[in-house]
Structure 1
Amino acid sequence: MKKIKKFRFLINNCIAIIIVTILALAAVDIYNFLNVINESKIMKTRIAGIIKEIKHLEKERNKIYRRSSSLKKRQLALIETNKNLIEKNIGLSNENILLVQRISELTNSEPYILVDTKENILYFKQKGQIIRQAKCSVGRGGILRDKKTGRKWEFVTPKGIFTIKNKTENPLWFKPDWAFIEEKKEIPHPSAPERKVEGELGKYALDLGFGYKIHGTQKEELLGRAVSHGCIRLGTDDLEYIYKNTKINKTLVYVY
């Protein structure tokens, strides 16, 4: 009987162990299953967020595309407008040149001067024919400001039709205020002797009015480039020729 009881006890213990093991394994499976469900929910949430972000990016892409199309249309319109303006400008320049030539023909066929500010070339013409062509230097552009007074000067050669107001041999250059500011010096009295500079303008000067002249230069190697402060610079030989073959109040000068 004792052996039977021990045997039953062992069997009951084994059964209990098996049941506990099965329950433990089942609990692990349930735990894993619940984790899978939870991760699935998290993944669904993430996927939903990604889909939402994709839709938002798609909307932004469409907006950018529409803006790009609009900008492209504007760019094409601006290009066309610019093209028309260039054509009109060329047309006006040609008309002005023809006007100068016509005026010259009507004034006893006097010779006249054309100054191409883009190419830095001066033409001396008569009856439409080029008599002499010379490299020149026109205004370099840019603005100089006086920090103390707020004054400013723009170094450009004005365009238009001028006449020679006066002609001078061995001209003196009276340095203007901007010349001292450019050199970072104190501005002297208007009658100060340091304002008078000999030789700076070359041997001749032809006055066009408004403070602008055709004159010489000490830096002939720079002719052909826009480096002046607004006047028209010429080399020695060309300047002498222009000086001797032009007339005060008769020779027209067209700057374009």
Structure 2
Amino acid sequence: MAAHDPLSHVVDHTTLELPWPPPAWEWTIQLPYPLTRFMVMELIAAVLAVLVLVPVVRHIRRNAVTRGGFANAVEAVLLYIRDDVARPAIGGHGADKFLPFLWTAFFFVLFNNLLGMIPGFASPTGNINVTAMLAVMTLGVVVAAGVREMGVAGFFTGLVPHIDVPWPMNYFLWPLMFMIELVGLLIKHIVLAVRLFANMFAGHVVLAVILGFILVAKGPLFYLVMPASIAGVVALSLLELFVAFLQAYIFTFLSALFIGSAVHPH
């Protein structure tokens, strides 16, 4: 069974291990084609984002003062993304029209990161295909925002900063700069995907390797390795919880920066 391999935690496959009822690793669901475990996790993350955001936003609209610890915590996150991420990066109240995307991206990435902390589940953001699609969606928003603000020609010509050189050299340098800036635009979003993937993948691999020490320990060494491995996994799991929030924030922050650079070019 795939669950007996610690490294299977970071690999996508067509089975879903249930963490309940015990014994956890003996309850496995064979997913129908073409579903995979990461697809199911993404669906769960999307549902969680809707279940969290929609009721809280409706509550905020109906009440002048938000009541409840959970609603206040979610509202604090929403306001932080609006006031300290979106508006400074994109500019003033014009950033508010991008908030639905930024809020959704933050909570979707966050829930995908956190699902990997549940036994039997997995973190889709530890797969480059998932983070690549998230980066492609961000690229689409960036290009759409720039085109809407300045038009197709204005957006792409705006990628090139003003070059104060004699006009014969400008005819040579401008196409070169245009290609560099266009490739740079693509590279920024490739890095956005790789950054999220690498951090989440590496964290789960380290946890899997530390747990794997228990499987290879034999004899009396087992009783020394097991508590040390468990203590290490607990400590790193707390760090992974922090990384889950941090990477969701970084993805949202960089997305806001890229949108802002498209709306306000050089």
| TM-score normalized by the length of structure 2 | 0.20
1 or 2, which has the higher helix percentage?
A: 2
| TM-score normalized by the length of structure 1 | 0.20
1 or 2, which has the higher strand percentage?
A: 1
